[in-house]
Amino acid sequence: MTIADVRIILVEPAGALNLGSIARVMKNFGLRQLYLVNPRCDRHSPEAQLMAVHAKDILESAVITQTLPAALTGCKRAIATTGIHHDWNAPLEPPRTTLPWLLEEIAQPAALIFGREDRGLTNQELNYAQKFLRIPTDAAYSSLNLATAVALCCYELSQSLPLSPKDTCPQIEIAPQELVEAYYQQLESLLLKIGYLYPHTSASRMEKFRQLYNRAELQVNDVAMLRGIIRQIEWSLSNPHEKENS
3-state secondary structure of 24: helix
Q: How many residues does the chain have?
A: 246
Return the pLDDT at 167. 41
Going edge to edge, which strands form the sheet with 63-65?
A: 63-65, 33-37, 6-11, 110-114, 77-81, 131-133, 92-93
CB distance 120 to 126 below 8 Å: no
* pLDDT at residue 146 tops 60: yes
Domain range for 221: 177-245
57 by DSSP, 3-state: which? helix
Same domain, 112 and 43: yes
Query: Of 232, 162, 226, 185, which Cα lies nearest the Cα of 6?
Result: 162
Q: Is the pLDDT of residue 149 over 90?
A: yes
Number of domains the chain is built from: 2
* pLDDT value of position 172: 72
Report the CATH number at residue 233: 1.10.8.590
Q: 51 and 109 share a domain?
A: yes
Alpha-helical (H) ranges within the chain are: 16-28, 46-52, 56-60, 68-71, 95-98, 123-126, 146-158, 177-193, 202-216, 220-238, 240-245
Residues 229 and 114 in one domain: no
pLDDT band, residue 170 (cuts 50/70/90) = low
Last residue of a domain, one of 158, 187, 204: 158
pLDDT reported for residue 43:
96
9 has a pLDDT exceeding 50? yes
Same domain, 228 and 130: no
Give per-residue pLDDT as tens, 101-134.
998 876 678 999 999 999 999 999 999 999 999 9
Q: What is the mean pLDDT of residues 235-246?
A: 76
Q: Are 123 and 109 in contact (CB under 8 A)?
A: no
| CA atoms of 40 and 18, how far apart (whole Å) | 12
Q: Smallest Cα–Cα separation from 104: which of 46, 55, 60, 164? A: 164
Q: What's the burial of 93, exposed, middle or buried (CB within 10 Å: 0-12/13-18/19+)?
A: middle
Instruction: Based on the fold, state whether residues 182 and 121 are members of the same structural domain.
Output: no
Q: Where a domain ends, among 158, 186, 216?
A: 158
Domain boundary residue among 111, 128, 158? 158
Asked whether residue 142 falls in the same domain as residue 189, the answer is no
Closest CA to 33 of 53, 55, 68, 63: 63
Note the pLDDT of residue 241: 75
Task: Give me the chain's average pLDDT, please.
Answer: 90
